A and B are shown apart, each in its own frame.
Chain A
Amino acid sequence: MRETADLARLDLSDEECARLEPELDSILEHFKALSELDLEGVEGTASVGLQDVTRPDVPQGSMDPETLLARAPRERDSHYQVPRAVGGSE
Protein backbone atom coordinates (compact mmCIF):
# COMPACT_ATOMS: atom_id res chain seq x y z
CA MET A 1 0.00 0.00 0.00
CA ARG A 2 2.76 2.46 1.01
CA GLU A 3 4.79 1.46 -2.03
CA THR A 4 1.87 2.10 -4.40
CA ALA A 5 1.09 5.41 -2.68
CA ASP A 6 4.74 6.46 -3.13
CA LEU A 7 4.60 5.53 -6.82
CA ALA A 8 1.38 7.56 -7.12
CA ARG A 9 2.96 10.52 -5.28
CA LEU A 10 0.31 10.50 -2.57
CA ASP A 11 1.37 11.32 0.97
CA LEU A 12 -1.24 9.32 2.84
CA SER A 13 -1.66 9.51 6.61
CA ASP A 14 -1.68 6.30 8.69
CA GLU A 15 -5.39 6.83 9.23
CA GLU A 16 -6.02 7.07 5.47
CA CYS A 17 -3.96 3.98 4.75
CA ALA A 18 -5.90 2.02 7.38
CA ARG A 19 -9.19 3.15 5.84
CA LEU A 20 -8.30 2.77 2.15
CA GLU A 21 -6.44 -0.55 2.29
CA PRO A 22 -9.46 -2.82 3.03
CA GLU A 23 -11.51 -0.88 0.44
CA LEU A 24 -8.86 -1.41 -2.23
CA ASP A 25 -8.60 -5.08 -1.26
CA SER A 26 -12.34 -5.58 -1.75
CA ILE A 27 -12.24 -3.75 -5.10
CA LEU A 28 -9.32 -5.85 -6.37
CA GLU A 29 -11.05 -9.00 -5.09
CA HIS A 30 -14.05 -8.10 -7.27
CA PHE A 31 -11.78 -7.43 -10.27
CA LYS A 32 -10.13 -10.87 -9.93
CA ALA A 33 -12.99 -12.19 -12.06
CA LEU A 34 -10.83 -11.17 -15.04
CA SER A 35 -8.49 -14.07 -14.27
CA GLU A 36 -11.28 -16.53 -15.18
CA LEU A 37 -11.25 -15.43 -18.82
CA ASP A 38 -9.44 -17.44 -21.45
CA LEU A 39 -7.49 -14.72 -23.25
CA GLU A 40 -5.11 -16.97 -25.16
CA GLY A 41 -4.37 -15.34 -28.53
CA VAL A 42 -6.62 -12.31 -27.88
CA GLU A 43 -5.01 -8.99 -28.81
CA GLY A 44 -5.52 -6.06 -26.44
CA THR A 45 -7.67 -3.04 -27.28
CA ALA A 46 -6.02 0.15 -26.03
CA SER A 47 -8.39 2.41 -27.94
CA VAL A 48 -11.18 2.15 -30.53
CA GLY A 49 -11.22 3.50 -34.09
CA LEU A 50 -7.91 5.34 -34.02
CA GLN A 51 -5.31 5.74 -36.70
CA ASP A 52 -1.97 7.49 -36.85
CA VAL A 53 -2.39 11.20 -37.40
CA THR A 54 0.32 13.39 -38.87
CA ARG A 55 0.43 17.05 -39.77
CA PRO A 56 2.87 19.18 -41.73
CA ASP A 57 5.96 20.12 -39.75
CA VAL A 58 5.08 23.80 -39.63
CA PRO A 59 5.42 25.93 -36.48
CA GLN A 60 2.11 27.19 -35.09
CA GLY A 61 1.30 29.89 -32.58
CA SER A 62 1.07 28.88 -28.93
CA MET A 63 -0.52 30.41 -25.89
CA ASP A 64 1.09 33.40 -24.23
CA PRO A 65 3.36 32.03 -21.45
CA GLU A 66 2.31 34.80 -19.05
CA THR A 67 -1.34 33.68 -19.32
CA LEU A 68 -0.34 30.21 -18.16
CA LEU A 69 2.14 31.30 -15.52
CA ALA A 70 -0.49 33.55 -13.96
CA ARG A 71 -2.46 30.39 -13.17
CA ALA A 72 0.40 28.56 -11.44
CA PRO A 73 0.73 28.40 -7.64
CA ARG A 74 4.17 30.07 -7.84
CA GLU A 75 6.24 31.62 -10.63
CA ARG A 76 9.50 33.52 -10.86
CA ASP A 77 11.30 35.13 -13.83
CA SER A 78 8.79 33.70 -16.33
CA HIS A 79 9.22 30.13 -15.05
CA TYR A 80 7.29 27.84 -12.75
CA GLN A 81 8.95 27.93 -9.36
CA VAL A 82 9.36 24.63 -7.48
CA PRO A 83 11.49 23.37 -4.58
CA ARG A 84 15.05 22.34 -5.46
CA ALA A 85 14.98 18.81 -6.89
CA VAL A 86 18.32 17.85 -5.35
CA GLY A 87 19.54 18.75 -1.89
CA GLY A 88 16.63 20.36 -0.04
CA SER A 89 14.96 23.78 -0.09
CA GLU A 90 14.39 26.23 -2.99
Chain B
Amino acid sequence: MNAPFEGLDATGLRDAICAGQRGVRETTAACLDAIEASQDTLGAFLTIERESALARAEELERSDAEPGPLHGVPVAIKANLCWEGHETNCASRLLEGWRAPYSATSVERLLAAGAVPVGVTNMDEFAMGSSGENSAFGPARNPWDTTRIPGGSSSGSAVAVAARLVPLALGSDTGGSVRQPAALCGVYGYKPTYGRVSRYGLVAFGSSLDQVSPFVTSARDLALCMSVIGGHDPRDSTSLELDAPSAALRGEVALTGLKVGVPKEHFPPELDKGTRAACEAALARLEERGCELVEVSLPHASYAIPTYYVVATAEASSNLARFDGVAYGQRVDGDGSLNSMFAATRAAGFGDEVKRRILIGTYALSAGYQDEWYGRATRARTLLRRDYEAAFERCDVIAAPTSPTVAFPLGERTEDPVSMYLADILTVSASLAGLPAVSAPAGFAAPADDPTKSLPVGLQLTGPHACDERVIEVAGLLESTSDDHLKTPSGGAA
Protein backbone atom coordinates (compact mmCIF):
# COMPACT_ATOMS: atom_id res chain seq x y z
CA MET B 1 0.00 0.00 0.00
CA ASN B 2 1.14 3.56 -0.68
CA ALA B 3 1.31 6.06 2.14
CA PRO B 4 -1.27 8.77 1.47
CA PHE B 5 0.82 11.40 3.27
CA GLU B 6 4.26 9.75 3.61
CA GLY B 7 3.74 9.18 7.30
CA LEU B 8 3.74 12.91 8.12
CA ASP B 9 2.08 13.89 11.37
CA ALA B 10 -0.84 16.34 11.34
CA THR B 11 1.43 19.33 11.98
CA GLY B 12 3.80 18.32 9.18
CA LEU B 13 0.98 17.63 6.77
CA ARG B 14 -0.68 20.99 7.46
CA ASP B 15 2.67 22.76 6.98
CA ALA B 16 3.26 20.96 3.67
CA ILE B 17 -0.23 21.92 2.46
CA CYS B 18 0.12 25.55 3.59
CA ALA B 19 3.54 25.75 1.87
CA GLY B 20 1.90 24.66 -1.37
CA GLN B 21 3.84 21.38 -1.51
CA ARG B 22 0.65 19.37 -1.76
CA GLY B 23 -3.03 19.99 -2.41
CA VAL B 24 -5.92 19.37 -0.01
CA ARG B 25 -7.90 17.50 -2.64
CA GLU B 26 -4.93 15.34 -3.65
CA THR B 27 -4.20 14.52 0.02
CA THR B 28 -7.84 13.72 0.75
CA ALA B 29 -8.19 11.50 -2.32
CA ALA B 30 -4.98 9.61 -1.44
CA CYS B 31 -6.27 9.01 2.10
CA LEU B 32 -9.63 7.76 0.84
CA ASP B 33 -7.92 5.38 -1.59
CA ALA B 34 -5.65 4.01 1.13
CA ILE B 35 -8.60 3.54 3.49
CA GLU B 36 -10.61 1.67 0.87
CA ALA B 37 -7.64 -0.56 0.05
CA SER B 38 -7.16 -1.36 3.77
CA GLN B 39 -10.74 -2.24 4.65
CA ASP B 40 -10.62 -6.00 3.93
CA THR B 41 -7.51 -6.50 6.07
CA LEU B 42 -8.01 -3.89 8.83
CA GLY B 43 -11.74 -3.04 9.01
CA ALA B 44 -11.00 0.29 10.69
CA PHE B 45 -13.95 2.17 9.18
CA LEU B 46 -17.70 1.65 9.38
CA THR B 47 -18.39 4.29 6.73
CA ILE B 48 -16.05 6.02 4.29
CA GLU B 49 -17.38 9.45 3.36
CA ARG B 50 -15.71 10.01 0.00
CA GLU B 51 -18.24 12.44 -1.43
CA SER B 52 -18.46 14.82 1.53
CA ALA B 53 -14.67 14.66 2.11
CA LEU B 54 -13.81 15.58 -1.49
CA ALA B 55 -16.44 18.34 -1.53
CA ARG B 56 -14.97 19.79 1.64
CA ALA B 57 -11.41 19.51 0.29
CA GLU B 58 -12.42 21.49 -2.79
CA GLU B 59 -14.16 24.09 -0.66
CA LEU B 60 -11.00 24.49 1.46
CA GLU B 61 -8.83 24.83 -1.65
CA ARG B 62 -11.09 27.52 -3.09
CA SER B 63 -11.44 29.44 0.17
CA ASP B 64 -9.57 32.73 0.65
CA ALA B 65 -9.85 32.49 4.44
CA GLU B 66 -6.74 32.25 6.63
CA PRO B 67 -5.86 28.51 6.83
CA GLY B 68 -6.80 26.94 10.18
CA PRO B 69 -4.43 24.97 12.44
CA LEU B 70 -5.60 21.70 10.84
CA HIS B 71 -6.01 23.07 7.31
CA GLY B 72 -6.51 20.15 4.93
CA VAL B 73 -5.70 17.44 7.50
CA PRO B 74 -7.77 14.26 6.99
CA VAL B 75 -9.31 13.03 10.24
CA ALA B 76 -11.45 10.08 11.32
CA ILE B 77 -14.33 10.16 13.80
CA LYS B 78 -15.35 7.38 16.20
CA ALA B 79 -18.89 6.13 15.59
CA ASN B 80 -20.16 7.47 18.94
CA LEU B 81 -19.44 11.13 18.13
CA CYS B 82 -22.22 12.99 16.35
CA TRP B 83 -21.19 14.32 12.95
CA GLU B 84 -24.08 16.09 11.27
CA GLY B 85 -25.63 14.14 8.41
CA HIS B 86 -23.43 11.07 8.92
CA GLU B 87 -24.22 7.71 10.45
CA THR B 88 -23.44 7.69 14.18
CA ASN B 89 -24.40 4.13 15.02
CA CYS B 90 -22.06 3.32 17.93
CA ALA B 91 -21.35 0.01 16.12
CA SER B 92 -24.77 -1.17 17.30
CA ARG B 93 -27.60 -2.80 15.34
CA LEU B 94 -29.96 -0.69 17.42
CA LEU B 95 -28.71 2.56 15.83
CA GLU B 96 -27.97 1.19 12.37
CA GLY B 97 -28.86 3.86 9.81
CA TRP B 98 -29.22 6.71 12.36
CA ARG B 99 -27.74 9.95 11.04
CA ALA B 100 -26.74 12.61 13.52
CA PRO B 101 -28.85 15.79 13.30
CA TYR B 102 -25.99 17.94 14.67
CA SER B 103 -22.23 17.74 15.25
CA ALA B 104 -20.43 17.19 18.56
CA THR B 105 -18.50 20.24 19.79
CA SER B 106 -15.20 18.39 19.27
CA VAL B 107 -16.16 17.59 15.67
CA GLU B 108 -17.33 21.17 15.08
CA ARG B 109 -14.00 22.47 16.38
CA LEU B 110 -12.03 20.12 14.10
CA LEU B 111 -14.08 21.40 11.16
CA ALA B 112 -13.58 25.02 12.16
CA ALA B 113 -9.81 24.35 12.27
CA GLY B 114 -9.87 23.18 8.64
CA ALA B 115 -9.81 19.39 9.14
CA VAL B 116 -11.35 17.07 6.54
CA PRO B 117 -13.30 14.18 8.12
CA VAL B 118 -12.99 11.16 5.82
CA GLY B 119 -15.03 8.54 7.64
CA VAL B 120 -16.53 7.01 10.75
CA THR B 121 -14.47 4.43 12.64
CA ASN B 122 -15.24 1.01 14.06
CA MET B 123 -15.54 0.47 17.81
CA ASP B 124 -16.84 -1.84 20.51
CA GLU B 125 -20.62 -1.40 20.64
CA PHE B 126 -21.49 1.70 22.71
CA ALA B 127 -17.77 1.88 23.69
CA MET B 128 -18.06 -1.27 25.82
CA GLY B 129 -15.03 -3.47 25.30
CA SER B 130 -11.25 -3.66 25.38
CA SER B 131 -10.57 -5.47 22.11
CA GLY B 132 -12.81 -4.04 19.38
CA GLU B 133 -14.50 -7.45 19.08
CA ASN B 134 -17.86 -6.23 20.39
CA SER B 135 -18.63 -4.29 17.19
CA ALA B 136 -21.90 -5.46 15.62
CA PHE B 137 -20.21 -5.01 12.23
CA GLY B 138 -17.11 -7.18 12.78
CA PRO B 139 -13.82 -6.38 14.52
CA ALA B 140 -11.06 -4.03 13.40
CA ARG B 141 -7.63 -5.72 13.25
CA ASN B 142 -4.25 -4.70 14.60
CA PRO B 143 -2.06 -3.48 11.71
CA TRP B 144 1.07 -4.88 13.41
CA ASP B 145 -0.44 -8.38 13.29
CA THR B 146 -3.88 -8.79 11.77
CA THR B 147 -4.56 -11.99 13.75
CA ARG B 148 -4.60 -9.82 16.89
CA ILE B 149 -6.93 -7.30 18.47
CA PRO B 150 -6.14 -3.59 18.20
CA GLY B 151 -7.59 -2.92 21.66
CA GLY B 152 -10.77 -1.03 22.40
CA SER B 153 -13.16 0.40 22.56
CA SER B 154 -11.84 3.01 20.08
CA SER B 155 -10.46 0.21 17.89
CA GLY B 156 -10.96 1.71 14.42
CA SER B 157 -9.57 5.15 15.30
CA ALA B 158 -6.42 3.55 16.75
CA VAL B 159 -5.97 1.35 13.68
CA ALA B 160 -6.57 4.25 11.27
CA VAL B 161 -3.79 6.30 12.88
CA ALA B 162 -1.39 3.37 13.44
CA ALA B 163 -1.71 2.29 9.78
CA ARG B 164 -1.11 5.94 8.75
CA LEU B 165 -4.48 6.10 6.98
CA VAL B 166 -5.11 9.43 8.75
CA PRO B 167 -2.74 11.40 11.02
CA LEU B 168 -5.43 12.21 13.58
CA ALA B 169 -8.56 10.44 14.79
CA LEU B 170 -11.01 11.11 17.59
CA GLY B 171 -12.00 8.42 20.03
CA SER B 172 -13.58 8.41 23.47
CA ASP B 173 -11.99 7.16 26.69
CA THR B 174 -14.16 6.03 29.62
CA GLY B 175 -11.82 3.54 31.33
CA GLY B 176 -8.94 3.35 28.86
CA SER B 177 -10.73 3.15 25.51
CA VAL B 178 -8.20 5.44 23.82
CA ARG B 179 -5.05 4.81 25.88
CA GLN B 180 -5.16 0.99 25.71
CA PRO B 181 -5.68 0.71 21.90
CA ALA B 182 -3.07 3.45 21.41
CA ALA B 183 -0.58 1.33 23.39
CA LEU B 184 -1.41 -1.86 21.50
CA CYS B 185 -1.19 -0.09 18.12
CA GLY B 186 1.97 1.97 18.81
CA VAL B 187 0.53 5.52 18.64
CA TYR B 188 -0.30 8.34 21.05
CA GLY B 189 -3.68 8.25 22.77
CA TYR B 190 -4.57 11.05 25.12
CA LYS B 191 -7.34 11.20 27.72
CA PRO B 192 -7.65 14.80 28.87
CA THR B 193 -8.62 15.88 32.38
CA TYR B 194 -12.34 15.16 32.84
CA GLY B 195 -14.11 18.28 31.57
CA ARG B 196 -11.23 19.62 29.46
CA VAL B 197 -12.95 18.63 26.19
CA SER B 198 -16.69 19.05 25.73
CA ARG B 199 -18.79 15.87 25.78
CA TYR B 200 -21.60 17.60 23.86
CA GLY B 201 -22.53 15.26 21.01
CA LEU B 202 -20.68 12.24 22.44
CA VAL B 203 -23.13 9.37 22.95
CA ALA B 204 -23.05 8.90 26.72
CA PHE B 205 -21.77 5.66 28.29
CA GLY B 206 -20.42 6.57 31.75
CA SER B 207 -21.06 10.28 32.09
CA SER B 208 -18.74 10.89 35.06
CA LEU B 209 -15.88 9.19 33.16
CA ASP B 210 -16.34 9.76 29.41
CA GLN B 211 -13.86 12.08 27.66
CA VAL B 212 -13.42 12.77 23.95
CA SER B 213 -9.80 11.81 23.33
CA PRO B 214 -7.48 11.99 20.30
CA PHE B 215 -5.09 9.53 18.61
CA VAL B 216 -2.03 11.03 16.85
CA THR B 217 1.52 10.04 15.86
CA SER B 218 3.57 12.76 17.62
CA ALA B 219 3.63 14.65 20.89
CA ARG B 220 3.42 17.99 19.08
CA ASP B 221 0.18 16.79 17.48
CA LEU B 222 -1.24 16.10 20.95
CA ALA B 223 -0.65 19.75 21.81
CA LEU B 224 -2.03 20.92 18.48
CA CYS B 225 -5.15 18.75 18.72
CA MET B 226 -5.88 19.72 22.33
CA SER B 227 -5.53 23.40 21.46
CA VAL B 228 -8.25 22.87 18.84
CA ILE B 229 -10.76 20.60 20.62
CA GLY B 230 -10.13 21.67 24.24
CA GLY B 231 -11.67 24.52 26.17
CA HIS B 232 -14.93 25.41 27.85
CA ASP B 233 -18.23 24.70 26.11
CA PRO B 234 -21.45 26.16 27.57
CA ARG B 235 -23.37 23.27 25.96
CA ASP B 236 -21.67 20.78 28.33
CA SER B 237 -22.31 21.76 31.94
CA THR B 238 -19.51 19.41 33.06
CA SER B 239 -16.90 21.17 30.92
CA LEU B 240 -14.30 23.03 32.99
CA GLU B 241 -14.00 26.84 32.87
CA LEU B 242 -10.49 26.58 31.45
CA ASP B 243 -9.04 27.67 28.12
CA ALA B 244 -7.82 25.05 25.67
CA PRO B 245 -4.29 23.80 26.42
CA SER B 246 -1.46 25.56 24.59
CA ALA B 247 -0.62 24.50 21.04
CA ALA B 248 3.15 24.59 21.63
CA LEU B 249 5.41 22.31 23.64
CA ARG B 250 7.76 24.23 25.95
CA GLY B 251 10.53 21.72 25.36
CA GLU B 252 13.10 19.97 27.40
CA VAL B 253 14.53 22.83 29.45
CA ALA B 254 11.39 23.27 31.50
CA LEU B 255 11.40 19.58 32.38
CA THR B 256 14.87 19.18 33.91
CA GLY B 257 14.52 18.02 37.49
CA LEU B 258 11.01 16.78 36.89
CA LYS B 259 10.00 14.07 39.34
CA VAL B 260 8.52 10.99 37.68
CA GLY B 261 6.59 8.80 40.11
CA VAL B 262 6.71 5.06 39.54
CA PRO B 263 3.83 3.27 41.31
CA LYS B 264 4.88 -0.23 42.31
CA GLU B 265 1.26 -1.43 42.14
CA HIS B 266 1.25 -0.70 38.38
CA PHE B 267 4.24 -3.01 37.87
CA PRO B 268 2.57 -6.16 39.28
CA PRO B 269 4.21 -9.61 39.14
CA GLU B 270 1.79 -10.73 36.39
CA LEU B 271 2.89 -7.90 34.08
CA ASP B 272 4.25 -9.31 30.80
CA LYS B 273 8.05 -9.52 30.94
CA GLY B 274 8.55 -7.71 27.64
CA THR B 275 6.16 -4.91 28.59
CA ARG B 276 7.97 -4.44 31.90
CA ALA B 277 11.37 -4.32 30.19
CA ALA B 278 10.23 -1.80 27.56
CA CYS B 279 8.65 0.48 30.17
CA GLU B 280 11.69 0.29 32.44
CA ALA B 281 13.92 1.18 29.49
CA ALA B 282 11.70 4.20 28.72
CA LEU B 283 11.92 5.32 32.35
CA ALA B 284 15.71 4.99 32.22
CA ARG B 285 15.78 7.26 29.16
CA LEU B 286 13.72 9.88 31.02
CA GLU B 287 16.22 9.64 33.88
CA GLU B 288 19.11 10.18 31.45
CA ARG B 289 17.40 13.38 30.32
CA GLY B 290 17.41 14.80 33.82
CA CYS B 291 14.18 13.46 35.31
CA GLU B 292 14.27 12.03 38.80
CA LEU B 293 12.50 8.69 39.30
CA VAL B 294 10.72 8.33 42.65
CA GLU B 295 8.81 5.32 43.92
CA VAL B 296 5.22 6.15 44.79
CA SER B 297 2.29 4.03 45.93
CA LEU B 298 -1.34 3.76 44.86
CA PRO B 299 -2.41 1.42 47.67
CA HIS B 300 -5.98 0.89 46.46
CA ALA B 301 -5.00 0.02 42.87
CA SER B 302 -6.26 -3.56 43.20
CA TYR B 303 -9.80 -2.21 43.80
CA ALA B 304 -9.79 -0.09 40.65
CA ILE B 305 -11.40 -2.69 38.34
CA PRO B 306 -14.42 -3.51 40.52
CA THR B 307 -14.84 0.18 41.41
CA TYR B 308 -14.72 1.22 37.78
CA TYR B 309 -17.00 -1.50 36.46
CA VAL B 310 -19.67 -0.90 39.10
CA VAL B 311 -19.66 2.89 38.51
CA ALA B 312 -19.47 2.63 34.71
CA THR B 313 -22.16 -0.05 34.38
CA ALA B 314 -24.48 1.81 36.76
CA GLU B 315 -24.13 4.97 34.69
CA ALA B 316 -24.48 2.99 31.45
CA SER B 317 -27.69 1.28 32.58
CA SER B 318 -29.19 4.71 33.09
CA ASN B 319 -27.72 6.36 29.96
CA LEU B 320 -28.73 3.54 27.63
CA ALA B 321 -32.35 3.58 28.85
CA ARG B 322 -32.99 6.11 26.05
CA PHE B 323 -32.48 3.45 23.38
CA ASP B 324 -35.99 2.07 23.56
CA GLY B 325 -37.33 2.13 20.00
CA VAL B 326 -39.12 5.50 20.39
CA ALA B 327 -36.83 8.25 19.13
CA TYR B 328 -33.79 6.54 17.60
CA GLY B 329 -32.85 3.83 15.17
CA GLN B 330 -34.52 0.44 14.98
CA ARG B 331 -37.75 -0.77 16.60
CA VAL B 332 -39.10 -4.28 17.25
CA ASP B 333 -42.83 -4.37 18.04
CA GLY B 334 -43.11 -7.14 20.65
CA ASP B 335 -46.61 -8.28 21.62
CA GLY B 336 -48.26 -4.90 21.00
CA SER B 337 -47.80 -3.25 24.42
CA LEU B 338 -45.46 -0.33 25.03
CA ASN B 339 -43.28 -2.19 27.55
CA SER B 340 -42.98 -5.18 25.29
CA MET B 341 -41.88 -2.89 22.42
CA PHE B 342 -39.14 -1.41 24.65
CA ALA B 343 -37.91 -4.82 25.82
CA ALA B 344 -38.08 -6.48 22.39
CA THR B 345 -36.26 -3.55 20.70
CA ARG B 346 -33.46 -3.60 23.26
CA ALA B 347 -33.15 -7.41 23.24
CA ALA B 348 -32.82 -7.44 19.45
CA GLY B 349 -30.67 -4.31 19.12
CA PHE B 350 -28.01 -4.71 21.82
CA GLY B 351 -25.15 -7.23 21.66
CA ASP B 352 -24.11 -9.51 24.54
CA GLU B 353 -21.59 -7.20 26.21
CA VAL B 354 -24.00 -4.26 26.25
CA LYS B 355 -26.66 -6.52 27.78
CA ARG B 356 -24.21 -7.78 30.41
CA ARG B 357 -23.28 -4.25 31.43
CA ILE B 358 -26.85 -2.99 31.49
CA LEU B 359 -27.81 -5.96 33.68
CA ILE B 360 -24.89 -5.44 36.08
CA GLY B 361 -25.58 -1.72 36.29
CA THR B 362 -29.31 -2.21 36.80
CA TYR B 363 -28.60 -4.72 39.56
CA ALA B 364 -26.03 -2.39 41.20
CA LEU B 365 -28.64 0.39 41.30
CA SER B 366 -31.68 -1.70 42.22
CA ALA B 367 -33.59 -1.26 45.48
CA GLY B 368 -31.88 -3.12 48.31
CA TYR B 369 -28.53 -3.43 46.48
CA GLN B 370 -27.71 0.16 45.62
CA ASP B 371 -25.80 0.94 48.80
CA GLU B 372 -23.91 -2.35 48.76
CA TRP B 373 -22.75 -1.94 45.15
CA TYR B 374 -22.99 1.57 43.68
CA GLY B 375 -22.64 3.28 47.08
CA ARG B 376 -19.53 1.30 48.02
CA ALA B 377 -17.99 1.85 44.58
CA THR B 378 -18.37 5.64 44.78
CA ARG B 379 -16.70 5.61 48.20
CA ALA B 380 -13.90 3.37 46.94
CA ARG B 381 -13.50 5.93 44.14
CA THR B 382 -12.75 8.54 46.79
CA LEU B 383 -9.93 6.33 48.16
CA LEU B 384 -8.47 5.96 44.66
CA ARG B 385 -8.57 9.75 44.18
CA ARG B 386 -6.81 10.26 47.51
CA ASP B 387 -4.11 7.76 46.46
CA TYR B 388 -3.26 10.04 43.52
CA GLU B 389 -3.40 13.21 45.63
CA ALA B 390 -0.89 11.69 48.05
CA ALA B 391 1.34 10.42 45.21
CA PHE B 392 1.41 13.84 43.52
CA GLU B 393 2.79 15.37 46.70
CA ARG B 394 5.97 13.46 45.86
CA CYS B 395 6.12 13.69 42.06
CA ASP B 396 5.06 15.76 39.02
CA VAL B 397 3.82 12.94 36.79
CA ILE B 398 3.23 9.22 37.27
CA ALA B 399 4.58 6.71 34.74
CA ALA B 400 3.54 3.07 34.33
CA PRO B 401 2.63 0.62 31.57
CA THR B 402 -0.67 1.38 29.80
CA SER B 403 -1.60 -2.27 29.31
CA PRO B 404 -0.41 -5.38 31.19
CA THR B 405 0.18 -7.19 27.87
CA VAL B 406 0.81 -6.41 24.22
CA ALA B 407 -2.00 -7.14 21.73
CA PHE B 408 -3.59 -10.55 22.30
CA PRO B 409 -5.04 -12.85 19.60
CA LEU B 410 -8.57 -12.25 18.30
CA GLY B 411 -11.01 -14.51 20.16
CA GLU B 412 -8.69 -15.19 23.11
CA ARG B 413 -10.82 -13.47 25.75
CA THR B 414 -14.30 -13.25 24.23
CA GLU B 415 -15.61 -16.19 26.29
CA ASP B 416 -14.38 -14.78 29.59
CA PRO B 417 -15.69 -11.29 30.43
CA VAL B 418 -13.60 -10.96 33.61
CA SER B 419 -10.33 -11.56 31.74
CA MET B 420 -11.41 -8.92 29.21
CA TYR B 421 -12.16 -6.43 32.02
CA LEU B 422 -8.67 -7.01 33.46
CA ALA B 423 -7.17 -5.60 30.24
CA ASP B 424 -8.14 -2.17 31.67
CA ILE B 425 -6.46 -2.69 35.03
CA LEU B 426 -3.81 0.03 34.52
CA THR B 427 -6.02 2.66 32.85
CA VAL B 428 -9.22 2.81 34.92
CA SER B 429 -7.66 4.49 37.97
CA ALA B 430 -6.86 7.75 36.15
CA SER B 431 -10.41 7.70 34.74
CA LEU B 432 -11.97 7.34 38.19
CA ALA B 433 -9.79 10.21 39.46
CA GLY B 434 -10.61 12.39 36.40
CA LEU B 435 -6.92 12.90 35.64
CA PRO B 436 -5.14 13.63 32.34
CA ALA B 437 -3.21 10.60 31.00
CA VAL B 438 -1.44 9.77 27.77
CA SER B 439 -0.28 6.48 26.35
CA ALA B 440 3.01 7.14 24.54
CA PRO B 441 4.89 4.70 22.28
CA ALA B 442 7.59 3.02 24.39
CA GLY B 443 9.20 0.32 22.31
CA PHE B 444 8.26 -3.21 21.39
CA ALA B 445 7.96 -6.60 23.06
CA ALA B 446 7.13 -10.18 22.20
CA PRO B 447 3.72 -11.47 23.29
CA ALA B 448 3.74 -14.29 25.86
CA ASP B 449 2.16 -16.64 23.29
CA ASP B 450 4.69 -16.03 20.49
CA PRO B 451 8.32 -15.09 21.17
CA THR B 452 9.01 -14.53 17.45
CA LYS B 453 6.77 -11.46 17.24
CA SER B 454 7.44 -7.86 18.17
CA LEU B 455 4.45 -5.71 19.12
CA PRO B 456 4.08 -2.13 20.43
CA VAL B 457 4.19 -1.24 24.13
CA GLY B 458 2.74 1.97 25.59
CA LEU B 459 3.94 3.94 28.60
CA GLN B 460 1.15 5.75 30.44
CA LEU B 461 1.97 9.20 31.82
CA THR B 462 -0.60 10.59 34.26
CA GLY B 463 -0.66 14.14 35.61
CA PRO B 464 -2.46 16.03 38.38
CA HIS B 465 -5.93 17.43 37.73
CA ALA B 466 -5.95 20.03 34.90
CA CYS B 467 -2.17 19.65 34.26
CA ASP B 468 -2.76 18.53 30.68
CA GLU B 469 0.14 20.60 29.27
CA ARG B 470 2.61 18.97 31.64
CA VAL B 471 1.56 15.45 30.60
CA ILE B 472 1.90 16.33 26.91
CA GLU B 473 5.30 17.94 27.49
CA VAL B 474 6.66 14.84 29.25
CA ALA B 475 5.36 12.77 26.32
CA GLY B 476 7.38 15.12 24.10
CA LEU B 477 10.48 14.59 26.22
CA LEU B 478 10.11 10.80 26.03
CA GLU B 479 9.60 11.08 22.27
CA SER B 480 12.95 12.86 21.91
CA THR B 481 14.75 9.86 23.44
CA SER B 482 13.91 7.30 20.75
CA ASP B 483 12.36 6.83 17.32
CA ASP B 484 9.70 4.36 18.53
CA HIS B 485 6.89 6.70 17.48
CA LEU B 486 8.20 6.76 13.87
CA LYS B 487 8.01 3.00 13.34
CA THR B 488 5.07 1.88 11.25
CA PRO B 489 3.44 -1.53 10.77
CA SER B 490 3.87 -3.43 7.51
CA GLY B 491 0.10 -4.00 7.42
CA GLY B 492 -0.45 -0.26 7.24
CA ALA B 493 -0.24 2.32 4.51
CA ALA B 494 3.19 3.73 5.36
Residues of A whose CB lies within 8 Å of any CB of B are 1, 4-13, 16, 20, 23-24, 26-28, 30-35, 37, 39, 42-50, 53, 55, 63, 67-68, 71-74, 80, 82-85, 88-90
Contact = CB atoms under 8 A, between A and B. Distances in A.
Contacts of B360: 24, 27-28
B52 interface: no
Contacts of B208: 46-48
Determine chain A's interface SS by DSSP, over half rule: loop
Contacts of A5: 359
Interface string B346-388: 1100101001101110110010000011011111111101000
A23 B240 CA distance: 39
Contact of B344 (A6, A11, A53, A73): A11
B411 interface: no
Interface residues of B, number: 74
B375 to A, nearest CB: 6
B303 A71 contact: no
A66 B198 CA distance: 26
B238 A37 contact: no
A44 B379 contact: yes
Interface of B: 98-99, 101-102, 193-195, 207-208, 234, 237-238, 240, 300, 302-303, 305-307, 309-310, 317, 321, 324-331, 333-334, 336-344, 346-347, 350, 352, 355-356, 358-360, 362-363, 366, 372-373, 375-383, 385, 417-418, 421, 432-434, 465-466
Nearest to A42: B379
A10 B359 contact: yes
Most buried by B among A8, A12, A89: A8
B481 to A, nearest CB: 32
A67 B100 CA distance: 10
A20 B352 CA distance: 8
Nearest to A63: B101
B356 A20 contact: yes
A34 B355 contact: no
Contacts of B377: 34
Nearest to B381: A45
Given A8-B358, A45-B382, A34 B326 contact: no
A83 to B, nearest CB: 5
Contacts of B340: 11, 83
B98, B346, B359, B417 pick with most chain A CB within 10 angstroms: B359
B356 A82 contact: no
Given A8-B317, A31-B310, A44 B378 contact: yes
Given A8-B317, A68-B327, A83-B336, A30 B356 contact: no
A12 B376 contact: no
Contacts of A83: 333-334, 336-338, 340-341
Given A10-B343, A72-B326, A27 B376 contact: no
A3 B339 CA distance: 14
B362 A7 contact: yes
Given A33-B303, A37-B376, A10 B350 contact: yes
